[in-house]
Structure 1
Amino acid sequence: MTLIDEAPNKPAADRLATLDMAVEGMSCASCVGRVERAIAAVPGVETVAVNLATERAHVGFAKGVTDLKQIEDAIRQAGYKPVETAVELAIDGMNCASCVGHVEKALRAVPGVVDATVNLATEHASVKVLGGGEIVPALVKAVAAAGYEAKLLADSDAEAPARVEAAKEEEQGRLLRSVILAGLLTLPLLVAEMGSHMVPALHHWLAMTFGEGNIRIASFVLASIVQFGPGLVFLRKGWPALLRLAPDMNSLVMLGTGAAYLYSTAATFWPALLPEGTAFTYFEAGAVIVTLILLGRWFEARAKGRTSAAIRSLIALQPKAARVLRDGTESDVPVESVRPGDIVILRPGERVPVDGEVTQGSSFVDESMITGEPAPVRKEAGSLVTGGTINGSGALSFTARKVGADTVLAQIVRTVQAAQGAKLPIQALVDRVTLWFVPVVMALALATFLIWLSFGPSPALSHALVNAVAVLIIACPCAMGLATPTSIMVGTGRGAELGILFRQGDALQALRDVQVVALDKTGTLTRGKPELTDIEAASGFMEDEALRLIASAENRSEHPLALAIVAGAKARGFVLAEPAGFASDPGLGVTATVEGRSVAIGGHRLMEQIHVDAAPFADKARALAEAGKTPLYAAIDGKLAAIIAVADAVKETTPAAIAALHRLGLKVAMVTGDDRRTAEAVARTLGIDEVRAEVLPIDKAAVVKGLQQGGAKVAFVGDGINDAPALAQADVGIAIGTGTDIAIESADVVLMSGDVMGVPRAIALSQATIANIRQNLAWAFGYNALLIPVAAGVLYPAFGVLLSPVFAGLAMALSSVSVLTNALRLKRFRVPAAHEGGVK
């Protein structure tokens, strides 16, 4: 996207902003015409030119007039696709929720930006733009104009996480040094001012030894160093924000401490300027406030660092080097230089450097850091290994398949980072409030000052100043800004440690509201590796010959039931023939020609379709189904030849998982293509509430839609491939992963292990995270709602209670730390045990 001004000789108001964007799907001149007409019809568009060769549209529009979403929609309605690009920026200088609002507003004002989301906890901005990376300078400039600093985050930059971590550690060190300096300078002020009030003898000794005038001058010097030394950061950031009419928390602190400092300075050097009896000094108040707020920010920076501990631990799993066999020579090379196809030598106890396929050796590999499952997994020739996992006592050689940004570990890191940067729907209220919060607080402080000045007791000016400063200092948009993102960061990080990946951040909130959990049967509730259990031949057919022909016909199929039949026939020593004319109809069965004989295998619907009467085996099929087995009919040369049964054993953890879902108050449904009697038998065994059987893969989405009738929120659990439509239709799609590939685009949540117990774990974690967010928001809003009136002095008429600006500063500093500390409790989240229903 390129932004320029056309017709520079025209007045600024008449100039056009231009958008240069990519459009996919055009193939001819008529396409160009349709796209141009669609864009030209958008209100505010002045010029449009579409180039078929470059597949780009050049649009001129009046600044501030055209809604880019309308341009997008117009192109899509014309049948083409506008290209959106995601730009990730690191934002420096944000301190509170108001800062977040200002940065988002600045980014969204850049022509070409579709949406912008800023996260205070991660200090990142995710920007969706129409066009490409050429918009980045405009984004950086817009952020700078708002008073902050932005840098592009490159996905391919392997050193970026380390640099970010180093920058955060440097920031923590700077804050600590500022706190120590401010504290050392503030301590004498506290002793001289507060100590004198509390201990009259100390006051007399200081006055007799140093003189009250000298003490005031010394206090002025110490307070000045604090104000314009460690406290200069508030002036540097708060004053420009105030001039831009976009005040933030720095502005509040600057105004509060600045007012106290200037008033005290006037009382020290020009007392005649003040009304009689009001020449008091508050040097210690301003200095203590600066010290406490800096101390709070240091604690906050440390706590924010802990919220991203999961990401750091994941990144730390990547070994720095790998032993590679090249040209017959083994050598240790940096992991970044490993290429696909390299032979990697893995010694006992080492971490796997990249993803690959074992070619030689056998061992057990600890994959718990990827899947969350503690039991080591046996690896041998043909097995897949994942970077970051730990080899056991055996030696392995494997061929590198995925390296760098393509590894599972890199995908997990990106997935968790994306989820951590997301905004939940619950954040919408916070965003609306925080944009107005600081201006409202400033107005309240002004009103407090005027009311106390007009109606307060003597000395009215001193009371007015102290209470107005307390209002400015007590207000804390930081806590509101951190309430949601810190809980998301810790919750999604903890989920990654448990093998639960939230691909979409808002899935955290959606999963909490789920009422029905629909699960695919094969591979989800069951092992996904059925076995041939029964075969009975019809009159006129030999059992062995029928099985050989059936297995030969199924030999081309990849369906789990077909694989079970083929494996069963080979186990009996049959040599299978090559089928011809093979055809597979999902949900019905297969047909083929084997050695000149037509063979059909499937359910009763296939038999009806080919006009074969399956009634002779009806009772047998019913008995097999009631035993939890899947009966299949076979017809040879148009005659009923045999009935066979295949059983897929239920996973060991499935009963506990279903029981855990029930304890969480959820209804459980099973969706399967199996025979209804088989499905109902399995459901009875597991205690499943509702069964939808004999469902074709293409109809699973319709089943989910049916479960959603009446407004019920449905989560669908499947393998993420055949179940993609159902996963997309569900309110939350949960994909059962294998630990080797998380690129399941249709799912909102991915369970890295094949353990269905991950479903109640994910739901319990979602409930815990949203509860944590609500606690944070209740604290952040409740804190301000209660203490701002107290700071303004509402308790004074009835109880004679006023809130000192010093205690206001302490409370403000503690509010953010309290929110962060509460969010960090999620790091201790433990999954529900098999016999428990809640979250511990």
Structure 2
Amino acid sequence: MTQTPTTRRVDLDITGMTCAHCVGRVERKLGKLEGVTASVNLPLESAAVTAPSSVTDEELVAAVDRAGYTATLRRAPSDPAPTQVTSARHSVPEEGEGHDHSDHAAHGEHSDHSDHLNHGPSGDVIRPRLIGAAILTIPLFLVSMVPALQFPHWGWVALVLATPVTFWSAWPFHTAAFKAARHGSSTMDTLVSIGVLAAWSFSTVELLLDPGMTAMAGAAHGGGMASMADHQLYFETAGVVTTFLLLGRWLEARAKKQAGAALKSLLDLGAKTATVLRDGVETTVPAAELVPGDEFVVRPGEKVATDGYVVAGHSAVDTSVVTGESVPEEVGPEDTVTGATVNTSGRLLVRATRTGSDTTLAQMGRLVSDAQTGKAPIARLADRISAVFVPIVLVIAVITFALWLLLSGDLHAAFRAAVAVLVIACPCALGLATPVGLLAGTGRASQLGILIRGPEVLEDTRTVDTIVLDKTGTVTAGDLAVTSVTPLDGHDAGHLLLMAGAVEAHSEHPIAAAITAAAREANGGTVPDVDGFESAAGGGVRGTVLPHTVAAGRSDYIATQVASGALTSEHEQRLAEAEQAGATAVWISVDGRVAGIISLQDTVKESSAPAVAEFKRLGLRPILLTGDNAAVAAQVAAAVGISPEDVFAGVRPEDKVARVTELQRAGRVVAMVGDGVNDAPALAQADLGIAMGSGTDVAREAADITVMGSSLGQVVQSVQLSRKTLGIIKSNLFWAFAYNTIGIPVAAVGLLNPMLAGAAMALSSVLVVANSLRLTRFAR
């Protein structure tokens, strides 16, 4: 039998990429390795690689090296020491070639994303070159374009001013272009480098061939602003284009840091130290050294060091950093707490249950990072275009030069048009359109307590037209309380509640938790032990509370536990009475005989009715799906504004999947919102699964979007933000395409000055990033 090879995930940091063409080249080189797929992110300068175990890390790095870039393995937080593999040829980046990545393997996973937000040279590299270029270009531009400021032989001064700008300030463009050419490729920097060098070289040759061409002062020509046709030197074009592009890169780098700041701030939320209680002595240790089972103290005002549960103490914990909800949560013994949340009042003793990469905060960071690193389907079109874009532009520039020279015979006009084509055609905005939008959108989502699993989810939210809502814990608070116990067959109400609480103590369902809480309260805080516990998802539970066999659950489940195999008409009447009062009724059987009914009631969340109204405004049809009885479901639906025909009650877990499938077969695109184990299959089946963060890990694993709080309003926000992010990405792509589609023909026919082309090119990238930054103000 052929064994399927195992695959693994490898994260690489990549330096030297400058445009979408670079991204495509790296992806293609990695994809040539058997079984390897890669998604490369330009603004994060990273690659998420899926590779079989037969492909080594060194082979992955070597593939990136063959593409002309530098790769570094990103170390996972659990690694004991830095693990770094770099290509031998590019182990130390050249100046201006990229960031200093010499030590980022030493940091934890995703710990320094702000260093990866600039493609090409970093802001620190650009800044001195930009300042130098600006200082030299201003007098260069004035002396070249204002005849009143010209003096005899000013052309030689222009050469002196333009040379350092062309070769030092523009050096990052030249080195990137050279590296691409060495590997038989071309990038955006190829266009810039050729344009700048062509302007300088052409002008220098002209000046050397005719040293006296600027012997007369410009005032003799009338003293006004000179046009490009008034002289044959283009030193100012090389200087202005370089300066504008460096300015654009610098502004772009600053803006992208803002876009990616959300993830870095999320990862920085964790506590740095913890006060561990060992042998009764409090000891301060780094939070990273905690292991499951450690008990640590959290004083008022301190952050909870890691995920765990309260052993002793009572307090209110501010969970807003994780859930996005501002109201503190009251906690006491046995209540769970999440790392990075803040203890606002009393002293807590917490036992750690999850540490390191297993914590909720680490998982949030991983989900956000994966969403930012991934590639939305809409970005594939941009990738396909950018793969052939630069070579096509080079051909267009040559054709433009040849046609102008052939038709007009004007060498200078032909030169200006060709250079303008090279400069205006930069595909940088195209490469940034999708990843920067994702960076800003998913970062803002994380601040609101919304985790989007991957970029493809954004497009799913656009097509969804039906949203299926679980009731308990989603639409309602899930804080059920026992309102009455109806004993039957001579049983005592208190004893019946105690036995029911004992078997329900082993279940995670909100109904079970409420019954157990009531039993403990009535019995001084404890319930009897249970042997042979069994659970039927969505049906009920059974166990032995010596000497009795006790079962609790729905009518159809209890019917399988009683000796007769069915409930009597009297039993059915008692159940109907309880449900008509708006209660959720649970049957209890003891030793194969019906023993009584426990009635519970829940409250509708304040956020549910406004959320349902907003779903309708967004064009979504809300449907209530619950395992509860029809009377309770109808009351809840009426309270939140869901139509009676869109209420499905008494639905088992497998029936929830069937309902979702039925809707899909009817042509509906379905989103499912739930929080429990019994919702996981339906969340996985739905076109878009949305899990409430207050629910179980199983539900969150099955979902595409997780809202870390318990408010249905956050689900509305997740849909709104996803759609807005997709809208921003689409507008970015439209304007990036339109910019090149319009700009290249305009430049080719000679209507665009190369200097203006440089300014427009720089502005296009900045505008794309600035447009994406609008997402950071969502819901503020």
TM-score of the superposed pair, with normalisation by structure 2: 0.86
For residue 87 of structure 2, what is the aligned residue in structure 1? none
Kept in 2, the 8 Å contact 1:514–1:715? The answer is yes
Greater RCO (Cα-Cα under 8 Å, separation 6 or more): 2
SS for the counterpart of 1:82 is coil
Find out whether 1:231 has 2:182 as its counterpart: no
CA apart distance, 1:552 = 7.0
Separation in structure 2 between the aligned mates of residue 720 and residue 267 of structure 1, nearest angstrom: 77
Q: 1:342 to 1:552 in 2, by over 3 A?
A: closer
Find out whether 1:145 has 2:95 as its counterpart: no
Separation in structure 2 between the aligned mates of residue 333 and residue 546 of structure 1, nearest angstrom: 48
Q: 1:291 aligns with which of 227, 233, 243?
A: 243
Find out whether 1:175 has 2:126 as its counterpart: yes
Q: Where in structure 2 are the equivalents of 1:262-277 lying within 5 Å?
A: 262-271=201-210
Q: 1:350 aligns with which of 302, 323, 326?
A: 302
For residue 772 of structure 1, what is the aligned residue in structure 2? 728
For residue 194 of structure 1, what is the aligned residue in structure 2? 145
Deviates further, 595-604 or 426-435: 595-604
For residue 772 of structure 2, what is the aligned residue in structure 1? 823
Find out whether 1:787 has 2:743 as its counterpart: yes
Find out whether 1:254 has 2:210 as its counterpart: no
Find out whether 1:683 has 2:606 as its counterpart: no
Kept in 1, the 8 Å contact 2:501–2:518? The answer is no
Kept in 2, the 8 Å contact 1:321–1:332? The answer is yes
Separation in structure 2 between the aligned mates of residue 202 and residue 597 of structure 1, nearest angstrom: 105
For residue 394 of structure 2, what is the aligned residue in structure 1? 442
Q: 1:611 to 1:137 in 2, by over 3 A?
A: closer
Kept in 1, the 8 Å contact 2:500–2:552? The answer is no
* Overall identity of the aligned pairs, in %: 42
For residue 224 of structure 2, what is the aligned residue in structure 1? none
Residue by residue, what CA displacement relative to the aligned partner does 1:215-250 show, whole Å, maximum 9, x if unpaired? 222222222211111112222221342354421111
Separation in structure 1 between the aligned mates of residue 447 and residue 544 of structure 2, nearest angstrom: 51
Q: 1:421 to 1:192 in 2, by over 3 A?
A: same
Separation in structure 2 between the aligned mates of residue 550 and residue 341 of structure 1, nearest angstrom: 31
Residue by residue, what CA displacement relative to the aligned partner does 1:566-616 show, whole Å, maximum 9, x if unpaired? 544565669987777765544444566778777665444346654434323
CA apart distance, 1:528 = 2.4
Separation in structure 1 between the aligned mates of residue 139 and residue 189 of structure 2, nearest angstrom: 25
Q: 1:588 to 1:168 in 2, by over 3 A?
A: closer
Kept in 2, the 8 Å contact 1:552–1:594? The answer is no
For residue 377 of structure 1, what is the aligned residue in structure 2? 329
Residue by residue, what CA displacement relative to the aligned partner does 1:18-57 show, whole Å, maximum 9, x if unpaired? xxxxxxxxxxxxxxxx21xxxxxxxxxxxxxxxxxxxxxx
Deviates further, 565-574 or 286-295: 565-574
Q: 1:486 to 1:598 in 2, by over 3 A?
A: closer
Separation in structure 2 between the aligned mates of residue 581 and residue 245 of structure 1, nearest angstrom: 69
For residue 692 of structure 1, what is the aligned residue in structure 2? 648
Kept in 2, the 8 Å contact 1:546–1:641? The answer is no
Deviates further, 707-716 or 782-791: 707-716
Find out whether 1:159 has 2:107 as its counterpart: yes
Separation in structure 2 between the aligned mates of residue 705 and residue 665 of structure 1, nearest angstrom: 20
CA apart distance, 1:328 = 4.6
SS for the counterpart of 1:711 is coil
Separation in structure 1 between the aligned mates of residue 231 and residue 528 of structure 2, nearest angstrom: 106
Residue by residue, what CA displacement relative to the aligned partner does 1:238-275 show, whole Å, maximum 9, x if unpaired? 13423544211110011111221121111101259x9x
CA apart distance, 1:823 = 0.4
Q: 1:719 to 1:820 in 2, by over 3 A?
A: same
Any unmatched runs of 5+ in structure 2?
Answer: 78-104, 214-228
Kept in 1, the 8 Å contact 2:299–2:343? The answer is yes
TM-score of the superposed pair, with normalisation by structure 1: 0.80
For residue 407 of structure 1, what is the aligned residue in structure 2? 359
Residue by residue, what CA displacement relative to the aligned partner does 1:481-533 show, whole Å, maximum 9, x if unpaired? 11111111111111111111112232222123211111222222222232233
Kept in 1, the 8 Å contact 2:538–2:678? The answer is no
Separation in structure 2 between the aligned mates of residue 560 and residue 736 of structure 1, nearest angstrom: 14
Deviates further, 673-682 or 254-263: 673-682
CA apart distance, 1:546 = 8.4
Kept in 2, the 8 Å contact 1:718–1:734? The answer is yes
CA apart distance, 1:717 = 1.2
Q: 1:112 to 1:815 in 2, by over 3 A?
A: same
SS for the counterpart of 2:38 is strand
Kept in 2, the 8 Å contact 1:612–1:638? The answer is no
For residue 838 of structure 1, what is the aligned residue in structure 2? none
CA apart distance, 1:674 = 1.9
Q: Where in structure 2 are the equivalents of 1:361-372 lying within 5 Å?
A: 361-372=313-324
Q: Which amino acid counterpart does residue 149 of structure 2 have in structure 1?
A: L
Q: 1:534 to 1:399 in 2, by over 3 A?
A: closer
CA apart distance, 1:637 = 7.1
Residue by residue, what CA displacement relative to the aligned partner does 1:76-115 show, whole Å, maximum 9, x if unpaired? xxxx442111111111111111111111112112x23421
Kept in 2, the 8 Å contact 1:352–1:389? The answer is yes
Q: Which amino acid counterpart does residue 237 of structure 1 have in structure 2?
A: A
Q: 1:721 aligns with which of 677, 683, 705?
A: 677
Q: Which amino acid counterpart does residue 468 of structure 1 have in structure 2?
A: A
Kept in 1, the 8 Å contact 2:113–2:260? The answer is no
Find out whether 1:520 has 2:470 as its counterpart: yes
CA apart distance, 1:707 = 1.6
SS for the counterpart of 2:678 is coil
Separation in structure 2 between the aligned mates of residue 661 and residue 483 of structure 1, nearest angstrom: 29
Q: 1:743 to 1:517 in 2, by over 3 A?
A: closer
Kept in 1, the 8 Å contact 2:320–2:326? The answer is yes
Kept in 2, the 8 Å contact 1:371–1:753? The answer is yes
Any unmatched runs of 5+ in structure 1?
Answer: 1-33, 36-79, 797-801, 832-840
Kept in 2, the 8 Å contact 1:303–1:820? The answer is yes
Kept in 1, the 8 Å contact 2:291–2:352? The answer is yes
For residue 74 of structure 1, what is the aligned residue in structure 2? none
Q: 1:708 aligns with which of 664, 670, 678?
A: 664
For residue 282 of structure 1, what is the aligned residue in structure 2? 234
CA apart distance, 1:433 = 0.9
Q: Where in structure 2 are the equivalents of 1:386-401 lying within 5 Å?
A: 386-401=338-353
Residue by residue, what CA displacement relative to the aligned partner does 1:353-409 show, whole Å, maximum 9, x if unpaired? 333333343332221111101112223333333222222243333333333323222
CA apart distance, 1:545 = 7.7
Q: Where in structure 2 are the equivalents of 1:314-713 lying within 5 Å?
A: 314-456=266-408, 460-536=410-486, 541=490, 544=493, 547=496, 551=500, 554-555=503-504, 558=507, 559-568=509-518, 584-589=535-540, 601-606=552-557, 610-616=564-570, 618=572, 621-633=575-587, 642-689=596-643, 690-713=646-669
Find out whether 1:805 has 2:718 as its counterpart: no
Separation in structure 2 between the aligned mates of residue 580 and residue 404 of structure 1, nearest angstrom: 35
SS for the counterpart of 1:745 is helix
SS for the counterpart of 1:504 is coil
Q: Which amino acid counterpart does residue 8 of structure 2 have in structure 1?
A: T
Deviates further, 393-402 or 251-260: 393-402
Q: 1:778 to 1:725 in 2, by over 3 A?
A: same
Kept in 2, the 8 Å contact 1:408–1:742? The answer is no
Separation in structure 2 between the aligned mates of residue 397 and residue 567 of structure 1, nearest angstrom: 22
SS for the counterpart of 1:533 is strand
Find out whether 1:88 has 2:7 as its counterpart: no
Q: 1:171 to 1:536 in 2, by over 3 A?
A: closer
CA apart distance, 1:188 = 1.9
Kept in 2, the 8 Å contact 1:271–1:279? The answer is no
SS for the counterpart of 1:708 is helix
Q: 1:600 to 1:251 in 2, by over 3 A?
A: closer
Separation in structure 1 between the aligned mates of residue 574 and residue 433 of structure 2, nearest angstrom: 61
SS for the counterpart of 1:757 is helix
Q: Where in structure 2 are the equivalents of 1:10-89 lying within 5 Å?
A: 34-35=1-2, 80-89=3-12
Separation in structure 2 between the aligned mates of residue 542 and residue 368 of structure 1, nearest angstrom: 46
